[in-house]
Chain A
Amino acid sequence: MTGVAQHIDWLAIAPPLVLACAAVVVLLVDAFAGPPRTRRGALVPAALTVGGVVLASAYVVGAIRVYATDGLVRRTFCVETVLEGASPCSFVVDELTLAFWAIVLFGTFVVALLGTAAVAEGRIPQGEWSFLLLCSATGALVIAASRDLVTLLVALEVVSLPAFGLVGLRRGDRRAAEASVKFFLVSVVATAVTLMGISFVYGATGSVFLTQVDVAISTGAGPREVAVVGALLTVVGLAFKVAAVPFHMWLPDTYVGAPVAVAAYLSVVSKAAGFVGLLLVLAYGLPDLAGSWAPVMAVLAAFTMTVGNVVALWQQHAVRLLAWSSVAQAGYILVPFGAVAAASREEITEVLSRSTGYLAMYAVVNLCAFGVAAVVGTRYPAQRLVDYRGLIREEPLAGWALAFALVALAGLPPGMIGLLAKVVVFSSAAGPVTWLALVMAVNVAIGLVYYARWLMELFRPAEVAGGSTYDVPNGVGVAIGMTLAAAVVFSVLPGLLLDPVLVSAATP
């Protein structure tokens, strides 16, 4: 029992630790000071939340710079093995981890700012909101660094459990409660299925560490069929989390029922957590079984984007439209997963990094769209598309931000970052699974129709003059401005966003 007094690399786990500490502080402040009674009083927990995220982000930025110069990979929670070879670790901060941390922290930061609008309405308790948000984000950070199946699953639950609370946070709102319960039930089932899959994988390989699972499968140590079944069950479980069709039923109702800021959180941070889970299990643990899971993922991707886009065509409710569009976007993100059936180990990592690239783009522009939806929702809770009329003229920042986000989501100029991210995803599919690339091509066209329809409303004059002027809360204004600025800068210099994320794709 020598492994008990384990050395812990505190620098490696600093970011999730900071968020967790911030969560506790926020909770304690709220408990002792009582719920804030004035708008000014509500600033304290909000500032603490944002401060925690900023602190963690500052650390991550530093770590990225160190990584860029030294290539330093921090590992901790490692297990001494009697076998030769590297000892497996549960927590690894490598390139992938850092990329996802950046996405998650950016997303959490923006959502924390958006939350100030919802809280200002007085229908959401500030303390609980901040606490749950930080807890969930902590889980999202941990999952990106987890390298064993148990840590991964626990982290995934840490993401989800506070999210149920967030969805149902609006006081006296039956739809929120219903959305929360629906989300909870689906999530529990998904977890159970994932757990089942993990136990199969464990049974077949004798380890929960991804590196050892990989070794066991590639050396043929365990029964391969069992591992395949385990892999597929794990995929199904995680597919619920990312809302891939046919496991997407919960998503639109949940998004619509939840406060807009929470919907934004679910669509970006929570979804990113699901994707990183998929990526870790499949690319790090089961690359040898790519021949089995890649075709499944290809079919899943095709259905996800098609169903998401086609259903989105009929939506008149802005958040519901964004919900279906996020289903469709998840389909695009899944495309690289479907393209690696015949790829080598290195190629799999490289191709799947294109999913990360797309996700990064999606995070920025989707948060931008949700930010504007949060603003419009303060006056028009019904969120009809016609409520967005006149936004360009009467609230130019919000109007142009939404317009830019929509064209970027559609993948058209001037939203060049969206266009290039689509090129990145297409580039993985063209060749190995050209049919999927063609399905995606058709989907891009379908998607454009509803984005363009919404865009049109923005440019129409408002039904009532002045009907689209808003008193935008400062926090939300900053959030929208920040995402818009990021989207514009990345459109001019796409390399800033995509070059660090994509793993040496220049040499296919």
Chain B
Amino acid sequence: MEEREERLSQERIMEIRYRWSAGPYLGRFLAELRDKGKFYVVRCPGCERFLLPPRIVCSTCYTRIPEYPDGWIALSGRGILLDWQRVIYPQMDPETGEVRDEPFLHGTFRLDHDLLFVHYLGPADLDEGRLQEGMKVEMVMKPQEQREGKVTDIHYFRIVED
């Protein structure tokens, strides 16, 4: 038998711990979401557009944005469904590195002030045949004890009847 040349390679798995600061803007947004279920945006005093999430400067006019609560506005948590994506290929969960095999739906929602936001559609709305652009949606929070100060403290958005 012909001898095959060995192509040596070696494998390591590296676990690296990160801890990211949220800062006073995104931090306050997440804390309000966690503690009161409130979803805040802030209006840029320079160009008057709404910023989601609140941040220290407007990235287009570079105006300094005031800290909470000056100019901060809580949204209603209601909006309309613009489009959705059925994710059917095995997808790595970026939070854990685990692969999630089951399909899920991401929706793009138009919230108050024309702001767009992407989140999950809820378990009752996974039947794509029923979904239509323009359907009304509302934000569903996780129970208080499960909230962690993350955007996923919002459990999902669900379709609501008119």
Partners in one complex: no
Spell out B's residues near A (CB within 8 Å): none
